[in-house]
Amino acid sequence: MHYVPEAYESLPSLQLAGELFEKKNAVQPLVGPIRQLFLDRGLCHKYGISLLHKHFSMEPIERLVEYHHSASPWVVKNQNALVIPRYEGAIVPRTFRFFEGKATPYEFSFSATAPLVEEDHEEFVLEVSNLLRQYDLDDVFGVRWLDDYDSELPMEVTEGNVNIMMPVGSVPDASLIEALWVFSPDETQRCHCLSVCRTIGGKHQPDHGCS
């Protein structure tokens, strides 16, 4: 794997991503074969499915990096390396998409210790990406590493060029779009929409049958 700036820059807006989700009826494979793959591999507690979208554009020398529940563009010198040393830690991959035939990271986190994504799981990320392509959903979903996710801050809002995770109730429900799903082996709780993003204008009122 390596980083390609266009993997981020070619992402749709949140509104367009939500519309594409509905147009392709993506919930059916989401709660069916996609969920089953996560359960079969025993990695549903480590990875989730993310809605492919962006809130703002960045320069090719920048990466979207999350730290302490905020994500903003960080300038990097090496545009291709997956892991970049910084501040006695490292910028490491967080979210992946299937792009130009490869599983490619498009969002990152700052880690003060070891890289978040385990090398042994690169094969799983590619397997999920291939399944998404099989169902023509590689332009709808990505794969998200859950290690840094805080369920107490499930709402993502954007201020300028910064995405900020906020508590429930921070913005009206009518302006939210589901953006992250985590699967459960319990048939009554197939998937949890753990994160939502705010959209400006328009309403998104889906009924996805998920808990």
pLDDT tens digits, residue range 108-130?
999 887 555 555 567 888 899 88
Reported as a single tens digit per residue, the pLDDT across 10-42 is 999 988 998 999 999 999 999 899 999 999 999
Angular region, 127: left φ>0, alpha ψ -120 to 50, beta rest? alpha
More confident residue, 187 or 44: 44
DSSP 99-150: ETTEEEEEEEEEESSS-SS-GGGHHHHHHHHHHHHHTT-TTTEEEEE-TT--
Which helix (H) or strand (E) segment holds residue 19: the answer is helix 14-23
Antiparallel, parallel or unpaired: β 62-67 and 102-111: parallel
